[in-house]
Amino acid sequence: MTAEQSMLLHHQVDQLNAAYAAALDDKRFDEWPLFFIEDGHYTVQARENFDRGLPLALIALESQGMMKDRVYGITQTIYHGPYYMRHVVSPSRITSHTTSPDGDVIKAEANYAVFRTRPGSITEVYNVGRYIDELVKKGDSWKYKSRLCVYDSEMILNSLIYPV
């Protein structure tokens, strides 16, 4: 891969991460499952369990359908005091890139920090960790085949309502 191709690939992954964060920050939750392939996986797991190879996770969704159910719960059934979220995502680090007859596959990682601000209150660190992603090329764009959010916090501020 040439340096130019590598830079383009990094740019595409970073743009996907930026669009993902913007959709969540803007509370456009109906768009969230569309960042994934139909049988995509989304997992939020404590670093402690990840490092030990233990499977327990706070959230483990195995398809767009499960993600859409989560969106329904977020938007239609859960009540909580209002707050704003802001994602800050580091540039991605591509750990592998393969091409096969089935298409291109990228494995990438990026650090993230999610902040929460309640109206009239101070901003709090909500969740910090890293994304461990597997992406596949669909047409001209990339989608997540899996997104594992490994969070560093030993305790979370409240129940995890929104995707990170």
pLDDT grade, residue 158 (50/70/90)?
low
Q: Where are the domains of the chain?
A: 3-151
Its pTM stands at: 0.94
Which of these, 48, 60, 53, 147, lies nearest to 107 by C-alpha position? 147
What is the CATH code for 3-151?
3.10.450.50
Band (pLDDT 50/70/90 cuts) for residue 160 is confident
Q: Which tens digits make up the pLDDT trace of 31-75?
A: 999 999 999 999 999 999 999 999 999 999 999 999 999 999 888
Calculate ∠ Cα 149-40-107, nearest 5°: 60
Exposure class string for 91-121: b at 16+ Cβ within 10 A, else e = ebebeebeeeeeeebbbbbbebbbbbeeeee
Alpha carbon 159 to its chain's center: 17
> Residues 131-142: pLDDT tens digits?
999 999 988 899
